[in-house]
Structure 1
Amino acid sequence: MLSTWSILALGFTLGLKHALDADHLAAVTAIASERKGVLRASLVGALWGAGHTVALLAAGVAVIVLHLEISARVAAGLEFAVALAVRTLAALFTLGLGLLMAYELGRGHGLRL
């Protein structure tokens, strides 16, 4: 049987892997790059992480305290919602990049990527 510490270590490791996924890095980078200075950009990243932590902690505590079980159907629905959000963000990014390229071409600057 797994000890409490090994379960916590596994959760931390999986959370760290999740936090370093491309979608998270792209989102934090996009938001932080709009801030001037390393301190402000770091604060954005820290607040992003804190927001994720609070949301997951609240959900986890609710599941444990209320003895809830997440059905496979609900889990699949949540996964679909996340996939839809990621695809929407990717589409908006692609659209924005296309508009930026069209703008630069219209100004006669050519493509400088």
Structure 2
Amino acid sequence: MWITATGCALGLAAGMRHALEPDHLAAVSALVTSNREGEGSLGPKVVTRYAAAWGAGHALVLVLVGAALFAARASMPERLSDAFELLVALMLVVLGARGLRRHGLPHAHPHVGADRSTGALPFVVGLTHGLAGSGALVAAIGAAQPSPALGLFTMALYGVGAGLGMVLLAGVFGLTLGRAASGRAKVLGGLSVATSLASVVLGIAWGAPIVQRLAGA
């Protein structure tokens, strides 16, 4: 019982740490700084909403894929896992390019209410991140937990932990950078360009070795 409880607690803690991985931070940062919700676009309320949507998508896929793999007592094929990782790399490049394009558009200043799909895109990004990490996570949890049910529960806790970690980080991000960018269009524009470029560079660096591995397989 103690081992099981410890495993679940570790799953939650590991999920919170998982939110700090560079591909997650790059994607959510690029999403937030390129949105069109006006001067409050970097405030804690907006940023936290983006992070929560990302966390919901991430956790949902982890649970669904985990349930399927645990039920089948199977592991995700390595090539499929690589394909999902490559999808994340492509997504990072697209998100970065989207941010750069929005910054470069004439008269593309943010306006309140201009972007009505603020929850949909972060949710899809979270789904994609969940797909990329689910295979390795199932293998690790399956080796540590005595039953598929406990394994799935731990996986759900991991997803919740990742969402909580991202929301907490987003709150800090919103409080600090939101104040710095308040009323300063150039600061917001600079943040958008910086995070978008970082997303593109990370996506290319992330995807290049995967392409080489898939091409050589």
TM-score range, shorter chain: 0.5 to 0.7
Equivalent position of 1:70 in the other structure: 76
1:20 aligns with 2:26: no
1:94 aligns with 2:130: no
- CA offset at residue 43 of structure 1? 4.1
Equivalent position of 2:195 in the other structure: none
Contact 1:32–1:44 (CA<8 Å) still a contact in 2? Answer: no
**How many Å separate the matches in 2 of 1:74 and 1:45?**
27
Equivalent position of 2:122 in the other structure: none
Q: 1:63 to 1:92 in 2, by over 3 A?
A: same
Equivalent position of 1:108 in the other structure: none
**How many Å separate the matches in 2 of 1:4 and 1:32?**
42
Return the TM-score normalized by structure 2. Answer: 0.37
Percentage identity across paired residues of the two chains: 26
Equivalent position of 1:81 in the other structure: 87
**How many Å separate the matches in 2 of 1:69 and 1:17?**
24
RMSD: 3.4
**How many Å separate the matches in 2 of 1:31 and 1:7?**
38
- CA offset at residue 11 of structure 1? 3.2
Greater radius of gyration (CA): 1
Residue 65 of structure 1 aligns to which amino acid in structure 2? A
State the secondary structure of the residue aligned to 1:12.
helix
Unaligned runs of 5+ in 1: 105-110
Stretch deviating more after TM superposition (71-80 or 28-37)? 28-37
1:52-104 C-alpha deviation (Å, 9 max, x unpaired)? 2122111111111122211221111111111111111112212322x14xx47
Contact 1:28–1:48 (CA<8 Å) still a contact in 2? Answer: no
1:17-64 C-alpha deviation (Å, 9 max, x unpaired)? 232342244156348873869785344433332222122111111111
Contact 2:30–2:99 (CA<8 Å) still a contact in 1? Answer: no
Equivalent position of 2:37 in the other structure: 34
Return the TM-score normalized by structure 1. Answer: 0.63
Contact 2:26–2:92 (CA<8 Å) still a contact in 1? Answer: yes
Q: Which protein has greater RCO, CA pairs closer than 8 Å, 6+ apart? A: 2
The number of residues matched between the two structures is 102
